[in-house]
Structure 1
Amino acid sequence: MTKTDNIMYLIVVGAGRIGSRVIELATQDGHEVVVIEKNTDLAELTGSKYDCLIINDDASKMDVLEEAGITKADALITTTNDDSTNLMMMMLGRRYGVPRLLSSVREPDHISLFDELDIDFVESPHRLNGEYLYRTVQRPGIKDFMRLDGGAEIVEIELSEESSLIGLTILEALESEKIADDLIIVAVYRDGELIIPRGNTTFEAGDTVTVLSKEGIGKDIIQTFKTR
């Protein structure tokens, strides 16, 4: 498969409940996926179900990561049941310069350890599933999301300093068509405070904006909130 701007090279460590959902979605979308799974039975099952490369080995071994193509990976996603293994994988991913690092965390008390590594997205399995991890890889900048019936989505996006929305009111953003009419600003969190959005509410850098889109959140919407 030839790599294009739309095709990602993903390494998924762990093919359990969360990992298998990531693998399913990523292979359906045509991405290049390498799965590292230590359990032989699970590795064989995954290989029989999905169009991906399976490495039945311990992902913490440097030669295994290199065999998986860590140096060209767009993202490393680790979903094992062991936080120490996940943490090690994130450390190795940082060492190899992988652009996107994502991990599940079994114990909420361990999240601070991952935060110290400046991992892009770390969430407790109590709040996420494989789809959350996969969508996070696809759409950097989204802090949280919920899929609704009919394809609608609610997402939280942090407004960057480079966003073209900075300094505009919600009404001005609508009138200038910087945000679409069918996009609803549900809430704005600023400095830990909840702001109920009105037409005269002004966007500021660092705001966490909760957005509802009936058609789902595409890259164009994310770019509006992230860059000019």
Structure 2
Amino acid sequence: MNGIIVGAGRVGYNLAKKMQTEHDITVIEKDHDRFVRASEDLSCYVVHGSAANTSTLEKANIQSADFFVAVTGNDEVNLLSSVYAKEHGVSIISSKLNNPDHSSIFEKLGIGFINPERSVVRFITRMIIRPSAQSLVTLGKGGAEILEFTVQNEELDGKKISEIENDSPYFKIVSKFVNDEDDAIIPNPETIIEVDDSVSVIVKNEYQKQVQHLFTNE
């Protein structure tokens, strides 16, 4: 997939580093020092400029992007660039929301946002790798939550994610941690789940108890 990440600060840099091995990533950064660092350290195409300028986005080949992520510290830049991406038909868009007071305008313009209090890098990565999970989340309105479970149900041991989910409209497994390792495994439908794995699951709020029981037998 072709992706654009706006901002090479801590979140943007780590997100690009995490995704560059599997995707063609372009990073946009206005600050010169961050631009130089990203250019030297990342295996990505890095554009120097403001994403609030259409010429910069065009230089980043916005028309060919499959996903677009804006994670600068400036909500105006994040919003404007995301709207431009939406107008150019980018199918997956996520934006970092710095000031909760701005959430209403993001919602009004149909731009999905993520509060930086969450684990932004992991969350965006999951949303891009498994976009089907996006349909479960009413961003900004709390229609679903990401919950983490340690698998204790032995009936799930050795099963593929596709078998566990069984096309459920109520939950999606979006990451797996093995033996409490820090790095998440971004799963696909063939990924095997085993007892004692930790999994992150997007769950519709009204089905949390059922899904918890499925994984933990509690």
TM-score interval, smaller chain:
0.5 to 0.7
Which stretches in structure 1 are left out of the alignment for 5+ residues?
Answer: 1-7, 151-162, 167-179, 198-208, 215-228
CA spacing shift, 1:73–1:195, aligned 2, 3 Å: closer
C-alpha contact (below 8 Å) 1:104/1:125 kept by paired residues: yes
DSSP-derived class of the 1:103 partner: strand
Question: Aligned letter for 1:53?
Answer: Y
Alignment of 1:180-199 (within 5 A): 189-190=205-206, 196-197=209-210
Larger radius of gyration: 1
How far does residue 111 in structure 1 lie from its aligned partner after superposition?
1.6
DSSP-derived class of the 1:80 partner: coil
Alignment of 1:117-132 (within 5 A): 117-119=109-111, 121-132=112-123
Q: What is aligned with 1:217?
A: none
Q: What is aligned with 1:12?
A: 5
CA distance in 2, matches of 1:78, 1:123: 10
CA spacing shift, 1:38–1:210, aligned 2, 3 Å: farther
TM-score (structure 2 length as normaliser): 0.65
TM-score (structure 1 length as normaliser): 0.62
Residues 102-131 of structure 1: CA distance to partner in whole angstroms, max 9, x if unpaired?
101011121221112223x41110113222
2:56 to 57, 64, 68: 64
How far does residue 187 in structure 1 lie from its aligned partner after superposition?
7.2
Q: How many residues are paired up?
A: 166
How far does residue 49 in structure 1 lie from its aligned partner after superposition?
1.0
Q: What is aligned with 1:95?
A: 87
DSSP-derived class of the 1:81 partner: coil
2:27 to 19, 27, 35: 35
CA distance in 1, matches of 2:149, 2:43: 28
- Greater helix share, 1 or 2? 2
2:17 to 4, 13, 24: 24
How far does residue 211 in structure 1 lie from its aligned partner after superposition?
8.8
CA spacing shift, 1:212–1:196, aligned 2, 3 Å: closer
Question: Aligned letter for 1:189?
Answer: N
How far does residue 17 in structure 1 lie from its aligned partner after superposition?
1.1
